[in-house]
Amino acid sequence: MDIVVIGGGAAGMAAASKAKRVNRDANVTVIESGSFVSYAECGIPYFLQGIVKSPNDLLHYPPEEFTQKRGIKVITGRVVTKIDTASLSVLLDNGTAVKFDRLIIATGARPRIPQGIATGVLGIRSLESAIRLKEIIDRSKTITIIGAGVLGVELASTLTEAGKKVKVISKYDRVMPQLDPDIGQILNDYFASRVNVEFSSSPVEIKQDEDQYAIKTTVDDHRSDLVIAAVGIVPNSNIAQDAGIKLDQRGAIITDSHMETSTPGIYAAGDVATVKNIITGEEEMMPLAQIANKAGRVAGSNAAGSEMNFPGAVGSTLVKVFDMEVGFTGLNEKRATASGIEFGKTLIKAKSRANYYPGKEDIYVKILYRNSDKRIIGGQVLGKDGAAWRLNTLATAIFAGFTVEDLFYDDLGYTPPFGPVWDPLIIAGSVSMRE
């Protein structure tokens, strides 16, 4: 059996490795357009900041781990230009055709760059782009970031800590609009006290002018040494679309629980593909590393002949903003309303540790729950000391179908250095039970 994987990122290498484990006799080939495979894309902001000293530190495994130890053929620096479903082959940019019995598309996504108004604006999505950008950042003093979502806020935080003067352009009236306005405003005030943010603004024209950029927005004009776009991503699904594979409205490849596409024998995983939202039941794009790895493994197993099912995800997202831990999982108020769910909500503030123990900080926890059965459908956290692991607990609660009463009775571990006996999560569950 010949199994071809397009893309050597998290999903692609997980798929290739699982396929080879399932079927040792299969010929597994990975085709990657860049120079690197299996690297930590989420570590790129910290490489740009300088905490991670070398791009090699972001490599999960050297290529030899796959080629020599796992028996996977890896082709780098080659672009797949066409999927031929009639001849069961993919065509490379050098004219070579590679035959397959099963195909896995893990081509990821590319940064969305404002079109028609931007000259020389850079985005980040690959290790190669990060290496090029790092050289520019090192010689830049002023940096403008367009977009105030997760990536924009994370970059602004890390680059400010690296000593750069950063300005963020947000089309919204606050940063990280994925958070609900109540808890989001707390983060917004914290962030805006450290970074210059131009709210309710959009770029009108960005031009390179000698060694700087001239930036005109709907609010103001300014100059900057570097402009980075962080306004979202676009799935790299063109070759799939050309092959007649069905896409959703965002351009992501639609998959089923086997990660199989609308074309039998062709699978997709990672940022280019959809997964099921376990709360709404809808297929949607969730471009997150933990999902890409698991979905890739499922795709690889099914392609190699051993059935696996991807049950769905809740989109758990964590980000470090200066010394603040911020996260969200499941649905927010806007998404719940759009899905026609009648819900209740609770926002509480509590201490991260026992009141008498040094180092305690405020932690904000918000939960959303369905009115009909009190099942938890969303969670958001914010705090400086242990907020991140509370988000993971909420994600587990949502995945397991917890009600607010289940959350209250959840037997969480307790010791004063790590949390109070009435943990913020327990308090959130208790308050919600009173509603």
**Residue ranges of the alpha helices (H) in 110-237?**
127-138, 150-161, 181-192
Distance in angstroms (rounded) separating the CA atoms of residues 388 and 425: 12
Query: Could you tell me which residues come within 8 angstroms of residue 214 by beta carbon, excluding any fewer than 6 positions away?
Result: 205, 206, 207, 221, 223
| Annotation marks residue 263 as catalytic | no
DSSP 58: G
Give the closest residue to 296 by CA, choosing from 2, 30, 26, 42.
30
- Burial of 349 per CB tally in 10 Å (0-12, 13-18, 19+): middle
Output the six-digit token pair for 68: 């020599």
Contact 191, 82 (CB under 8 A): no
Query: Could you tell me which residues come within 8 angstroms of residue 141 by beta carbon, excluding any fewer than 6 positions away?
Result: 164, 165, 225
Q: Of the listed 1, 2, 27, 42, which one is catalytic?
A: 42
Instruction: Tell me whether strands 203-209 and 212-217 are parallel, antiparallel or unpaired.
Output: antiparallel
Ramachandran category for residue 50: left, alpha or beta (phi over 0 → left; psi -120 to 50 → alpha):
left
- Taking residue 252's Cβ as centre, other Cβ atoms within 10 Å add up to 25
Q: Which amino acid is at 353?
A: R
Distance in angstroms (rounded) separating the CA atoms of residues 215 and 372: 50
Contact 172, 232 (CB under 8 A): no
User: Looking at the annotation, which residues are catalytic?
Assistant: 42
